[in-house]
Every structure is written in structure tokens, then in C-alpha cells.
Amino acid sequence: MTTTGVTVPATLMHLHSVTVSLEGDPTASEVRDRFEAEPRLELITTASGCDSCAELREYAQDIGRPRGDVWENCIWADAVHVTDGRLTFFQAIDQQADVIPENVDAVRALAGAADGQESRARTDDALGVGM
């Protein structure tokens, strides 16, 4: 896996270019389906109107997220490509908020209060994960 951080005008978010060498050769559509099945991954389409990190933060504020937090790893669906077993995509990460759900899950794990799957479901429900 290779990642590249990109310096762009962004509000409290990072943009990463990710390249992954795969053992198989799935289609881009199959990869998007796998991403979409993960609650903490959010596929962003051109049709949504969000085409920048700043617009993602504004959307999070509009839907009532505290401080405009984006807890999900946002992946631009239109930029998911697979060629010769190499997957490439762009993701936006809110570097101040993306660790919040995992920290809640870690505290629950240390307290022995829930298994991983149950904890993630409880945390996602409490925070409203899924834009």
C-alpha cells in the first residue's frame, strides 16, 4: 500500500491518495460495494455536490454534527479505480474527529463492556455515524 498526503486548501481535513496492490483483480464497482458495506466508510459521489474537504465539513455542520465533525473516512466514489490488480482512490480524513469512534470503542474494550462488533454498532448509533 502506498499513500500520498496532499497539501490542499482544506479546513481541518487531509486528502490522501491511496494505492493498494491486490491479490485479485476486482472491478471498481466491486470495491465500491465493499467500501459501502463498511459503516465508517462514506462514499461521496459527484452527484452529492460535495467535491472538496471544506464542503464535507460544511455538510457535517448542516446535519448538526458537533464542530462539523466528520467521523467517517470519506472516499470519492468516482475516483475509485482498479487496473491490473492495483486499486487507487482518494480519501478525506478529518484529523480531529476520525479517531473519536475508535477511542470510544477502545475504552469499551478496556472495560470489557462489549465485543468489537457490538461496540462499533453502539458507538455508530450514538454518534450518528453515516452521512
User: What are 53-87's pLDDT values in tens digits?
Assistant: 888 989 999 999 988 899 999 999 999 999 999 99
> Where would I find the H helices in the chain?
28-36, 53-62, 100-111, 116-127
State the pLDDT at residue 7.
64
> pLDDT (tens digit, 9 = 90+) per residue, 100-124?
999 999 999 999 988 889 999 999 9
Q: Count CB atoms within 10 A of the CB of residue 50.
A: 21
Question: What gap in Å lies between CA 71 and CA 101, rounded to an integer?
Answer: 7
Total count of domains within the chain: 1
Domain CATH code at residue 89: 3.30.360.10
pLDDT tier at 15, thresholds 50, 70, 90: confident
Domain-embedded: residue 64: yes
Question: What gap in Å lies between CA 25 and CA 85, rounded to an integer?
Answer: 5
Domain-embedded: residue 92: yes
Domain range for 61 is 2-97
Domain-embedded: residue 24: yes
Is residue 62 within 8 Å of 48, Cβ to Cβ? no
Question: What gap in Å lies between CA 106 and CA 73, rounded to an integer?
Answer: 18
